[in-house]
Chains A and B, each alone.
Chain A
Amino acid sequence: MTEVLHPGLLLVAAGLALAPLKGTARAAVALVVPAAAVALVLALPDGVVWRGTFLGYPVTPFAVDRLSRMFALVFAVMAFGGALFALRQESRVELPAAFVYAGSAIGVTLAGDLVTVFAFWELMAVGSTLVIWSAGTAAAYRASMRYAMVHLAGGVVLMAGVVGHVAMTGSTAFERLALDSPAHWCILAGFLVNAGAPPLSAWLPDAYPEASWSGTVFLSAFTTKTAVYVLLRGFPGTELLIFVGLFMVFYGIVYALLENDMRRILAYSIVNQVGFMVVGIGIGSQMSLNGAAAHAFTHILYKALLLMSAGAVLYETGRRKCTDLGGLFRTMPLTMVCGTIGALSISSFPLTSGFVSKSMISQAAADGHLTAVWLLLAAASAGVFLHAGIKFPWFVFFQKDSGLRPPDPPWSQRLAMLLFAALCIGLGVFYQPLYRLLPYPVDYVPYTGYHVVEMLQLLLFSGLAFFALLPLLKRTLTITLDTDWFWRRLGPAAAVVLARAISRADRGARGATLGALRAGVRATGRLMSERGGLGRTTSTATMVLWVAVLLTAYLVFYYVRQP
């Protein structure tokens, strides 16, 4: 064991230390420790850092390669930006929980074996549940319990897979897995639950928007992108993932188009964006895996920026619904500009970070002659601009005049937004440092005339479609049923029906048994009563007669037995 500090455990420890702190000390720890984690990640040596044994199996809880360093880096940056944004958060639970959550996400990326992956995986579920819970509302509490149920169920499936894998191969090492056994299917299913894949995808838009104005910023970054990381390491080139990813891409767009809550719009667009990454992982070429990794990196930054601007609006107005918002550009110009930069990045506008990452996935589909996939990705790129790129800023900051005149948020939130906006533009213009972090050597130039012209056409004409069909997009005070209906409505309703049936059957069975017992008691009573066959008084003569009969019978049998 060498003298290298584990950046994930450092954040977890800082989270525990943060709990009792207040004021300046809290702010200092909240900012200095993630900054230190960033520095630690950048200085990590390649290869296995810690070795140990667990139940007789060798484990490597701390191992580093290009892929894990890249994800650990963006997670640490995210912890810093999220902490800066959350400095004014009054909850004493949220920031500590978020640090445990961020630290365990880094722990997953730096785990060389499946046992350690699982341990940090579950710690993430605990930390993130607490982040949602700490919003303090009844709705958040209920959402956090539903969230915890889904993730604990996913964890059980993952655990079954890991145990099966170790029993089969005798190795705990986390390497590429083939879909050749039930154990590996279980591992894939456990990973996909956290990625927001169908059929349980509804946990994400159900739970994330219930967190506080700062909590959702943390939540958007870690769980789904850790899932992208483990899929990149465990299941690259698994064809099934192309279909799963394409479903997620379009599911996210369609549901986001129907949504009225600004943070639920952004939550659905997380599923949409992770779908692009899952498609990239499914294609499996070096270009597409690079693209998926790069897109996860840029996505964390621009999605956090989008949710920061939504969080700032929520912080200032206390409102989340598009029907209540609109016209905020007048008094929240900085929030509007930063939110728009995030919206342009998620849409892969040229000169923003999304352009240099997502285009690699499309290029990989074209290079692999997957024409249908390429066309669907192009349609989805247009759809991203539609549901997140324009819809979010339009309905929150422009649209109608809601009459609200909130100011821009306090300096800590403004600073966090400016930092992430600068990163979104910076990575879009100077993309080489990002490309150098990628797991495979990059042979790709994003800024060619063709790429730029085609992307601009796609995006601007989808903008035209948005404004031309705006009457069809009018916001209504509605939600759209998703798969969570099965466990929020159908499940409880089925449980009520089942409980009624069981109680009816139980009442019937108990009634019948009691009736039978009562009948038995009555019959015995009759038999034993003064006039019953066994209970009535008889004369001595009758007794003597019966004794004589018995003795005679005895004699008869005695002689019959003689040979």
Chain B
Amino acid sequence: MEPHWLVRPRTIRLLWAAFAAVLAATVAAEFFVPMPAHEGLAGTFAFGAWFGFAACAALILVAKALGVFLKRPDDYYDEARDD
């Protein structure tokens, strides 16, 4: 059976290309939209772009590191009831 059009590799490649174009457009928009002058970090070029990416990467890594210590099998509390 033919897979759903949305999950064909061709569509996914196209979606990635479109996504990349949109990302570039939001950064390029800084040249056309008046941006108020900010000091420090918030004043850097494409602040939202790099900060958003960096913040998410950091959050994922923090979560991953915390998971090493705090993850348990999802029947963890069920076992607790049996004894």
Contact = CB atoms under 8 A, between A and B. Distances in A.
Interface residue range, chain A = 35 or more
B29 interface: yes
Given A375-B41, A460-B23, A492-B80, A382 B74 contact: no
Given A383-B55, A454-B47, A461-B23, A449 B33 contact: yes
A461 B67 contact: no
B4 A488 contact: no
B49 A461 contact: yes
Interface string B38-70: 001110001111111101111111111011001
Contact of B72 (A375, A378, A457, A478): A478
Question: Most A CB atoms within 10 A — which of B6, B56, B70?
Answer: B56
Interface in A235-267: 250, 253-255, 257-258, 260-261
Contact of A378 (B19, B51, B73): B51
Given A258-B66, A465-B53, A455 B48 contact: yes
B33 to A, nearest CB: 4
Contacts of A492: 80
B7 interface: yes
Nearest to A463: B19
Nearest to A459: B52
A541 interface: no
Nearest to A371: B40
Interface in B1-28: 4, 6-7, 19, 22-23, 26-27
B7 A401 contact: yes
Contacts of B73: 477-479
B29 A489 contact: no
Interface string A424-468: 000000000000000000000000011011111111111111100
A461 B48 CA distance: 8
A333 to B, nearest CB: 11
Nearest to B30: A453
A386 B59 contact: yes
B74 A453 contact: no
Contacts of A524: none
A21 B17 CA distance: 56
Dominant SS among interface residues on chain B: helix
A379 B55 contact: yes
A481 interface: yes
Contact of B26 (A258, A330, A457, A465): A457
A220 B37 CA distance: 40
A236 to B, nearest CB: 26
B74 A457 contact: no
Contacts of B41: 375
A465 B52 contact: yes
A472 B59 CA distance: 11
A465 B22 contact: no
B52 A382 contact: yes
A462 B52 contact: yes
Contacts of A254: 59, 62-63, 66
Contacts of B57: 465, 469
A457 B60 contact: no
A371 to B, nearest CB: 7
A261 B66 CA distance: 18
Interface in A343-380: 371, 374-375, 378-380
Contacts of B49: 457-458, 460-461
A84 to B, nearest CB: 30
A527 interface: no
A458 B34 contact: no
Interface in A313-355: 321, 327, 329-330
Contact of A453 (B4, B29, B52, B80): B29
Contact of B52 (A450, A458, A469, A479): A458
A464 B40 CA distance: 25
A465 B48 contact: no
A330 B56 contact: no
A464 B19 contact: yes
B71 A479 contact: yes
A464 B55 contact: no
A464 B54 CA distance: 11
A473 interface: yes
Given A454-B48, A480-B71, A461 B53 contact: yes
Given A386-B60, A453-B30, A453-B33, A461 B50 contact: yes
Contacts of B22: 460
Nearest to B78: A139
A386 B35 contact: no
13 contacts: A253-B59, A258-B70, A327-B7, A329-B6, A375-B41, A375-B42, A378-B55, A386-B59, A453-B29, A454-B48, A456-B29, A460-B23, A465-B57
Interface of B: 4, 6-7, 19, 22-23, 26-27, 29-30, 33-36, 40-42, 46-53, 55-64, 66-67, 70-74, 76-77, 80
Nearest 4 A/B pairs, CB to CB: A457-B48, A465-B56, A449-B33, A379-B55
Interface of A: 250, 253-255, 257-258, 260-261, 321, 327, 329-330, 371, 374-375, 378-380, 382-383, 385-387, 401, 449-450, 452-466, 469, 472-473, 476-482, 488-489, 492
Given A455-B48, A456-B48, 18 more contacts: A261-B74, A321-B74, A327-B7, A379-B51, A383-B59, A453-B26, A453-B30, A453-B48, A456-B26, A461-B50, A461-B53, A464-B23, A465-B52, A469-B57, A472-B64, A473-B60, A477-B74, A478-B71
